[in-house]
Structure 1
Amino acid sequence: MQHTALIVIDMQQGMASPAAGERNNPAAEDNIARLLAAWREANAPVVHVRHISRTPGSPFWPGQAGVEFQPRFTPLPHAHVVEKNVPDCFINTGLERWLHARGITRLVMVGVSTNNSVEASARTAGNLGFATQVVADATFAFAKRDYAGNQRSADEVHWMALANLDGEYAQVVQTDEALAALGAALRNISAAPVPAIV
């Protein structure tokens, strides 16, 4: 699984604040934690993405509590951390180069929010040629008013964003599917014959 990275997007304290608004998928954090634990156990690559705002007063402005990682998603010392200033985690971060240097060709994306940083990052990943999966039940969104002025629920925003991605830029999967694929890959590695020493 060294060719597949788990990308954990913006799981910061500011995203857990009630001030962020109505959200969906309350089990998302538990599913992200399951995936993160599995990737760590497999010693597979993990990238933690953190948003650093350029807007004074934002909860993601440097030095604010909101910019810090939520405790259960704190990166391990060897994990790669990407700090971004725009929704797309590939812009001005060096992430693409870091992935290519390690031969990583597949990405599994989780985090928040589905229609913002997750969607923006998955679009770029697909356009760059990475085989990208977005885990539907390990992402979540917030309610939002559409351009016509209609209030959309968090679920509506979430599912529309996933529909924008699926089959175009990424494959949308569920946590159990991503875990099953990880397990299958590990079994294939362990079953591979050991080359004879001559």
Structure 2
Amino acid sequence: MKLEKAALVIIDVQAGAQFLNRHVYHADADYFTTVVQHNQQLVANFEHRNWPIFIVTVHPKVFPAFVNQRFAKSLLMTAGLKHVHYVAKTSPSAFSQPTFMTKLHELGVEKLIMTGFTTNNGVAKTVADAEINGFDTTVVTDATVAKSAAVQAQILPQFTELATTAEILAAPRNN
């Protein structure tokens, strides 16, 4: 696999997602922790290679500002990184924020490496919008998490291209 004109797009790996995973979906906390670790590895790899990274966080309209600030806090360490772009959205798809598409075009991005929470909502809707807008997408299977393992197993085969974190970390980029 080659990463040509690719950007890493991380959907909703944030404090609110961790809370939902643990207290609403009652999903495996260890798996969520592993997903966060894989995302951190991908961030470090893309930053090292000077490739663009988009940290996308959802800010629900129903929350007051002080709650939203805590809910939307990214779980990834990105302070001081030069290639990170932050996108705040109010609905599942990152494309609901017009500045996202503008920045992708400015950077010459043609392929999105997709990760995050939840695979069946924010990731799936961003992938669908990306493909409608002419972007190639790859979903990183072990850097995404759904509401349950069963939902994850059901949604992954619906994506056009899948890869693991290890495959992405090892992939060259020719652009």
Q: TM range, normalised to the smaller chain?
A: 0.7 to 0.9
* Aligned with 1:63 (options 62, 66, 86): 66
* Aligned with 2:55 (options 36, 48, 60): 48
Matched-pair contact (CA < 8 Å) for 1:6–1:46: yes
1:177 aligns with 2:171: no
Greater shift in the superposed pair: 74-83 or 33-42: 74-83
CA deviations over 1:82-102 (Å, ceiling 9, x no partner): 111110110133211211121
Matched-pair contact (CA < 8 Å) for 2:47–2:81: no
Aligned-pair CA distance for 1:2: 7.9
* Aligned with 1:9 (options 8, 11, 16): 11
Cα distance in 1 between the residues matched to 2:154 and 2:43: 25
Aligned-pair CA distance for 1:118: 0.4
Aligned-pair CA distance for 1:22: 2.2
Question: Residue 132 of structure 1: SS of its match in structure 2?
Answer: strand
TM-score by length of 2: 0.85
RMSD: 2.0
CA deviations over 1:86-129 (Å, ceiling 9, x no partner): 10110133211211121111110111111010010011111211
Aligned to 1:98: 103
1:30 aligns with 2:33: no
Aligned to 1:162: 156
Amino acid paired to 1:23 = A
More relative contact order, 1 or 2 (CA 8 Å, 6+ apart):
2
Identical positions, percent? 27
Amino acid paired to 2:73 = E
Aligned to 1:113: 118
Matched-pair contact (CA < 8 Å) for 2:4–2:110: no
Matched-pair contact (CA < 8 Å) for 2:4–2:111: no
CA deviations over 1:160-195 (Å, ceiling 9, x no partner): 221222x2xxx11111111111xx22xx67xxxxxx
Question: Residue 169 of structure 2: SS of its match in structure 1?
Answer: helix
Aligned-pair CA distance for 1:20: 3.5
Question: Residue 178 of structure 1: SS of its match in structure 2?
Answer: helix
TM-score by length of 1: 0.76
Gaps in structure 2 of 5+ consecutive residues:
none
Aligned to 1:140: 145
Gaps in structure 1 of 5+ consecutive residues:
143-153, 190-198
1:85 aligns with 2:94: no
Are residues 136 and 84 of structure 1, via their aligned partners in 2, closer, same or farther at CA, if it must alter by over 3 Å? Answer: same
Question: Residue 94 of structure 1: SS of its match in structure 2?
Answer: helix
Amino acid paired to 2:163 = V
Which protein shows a greater Rg? 1
Amino acid paired to 1:63 = F
Cα distance in 2 between the residues matched to 1:93 and 1:51: 14
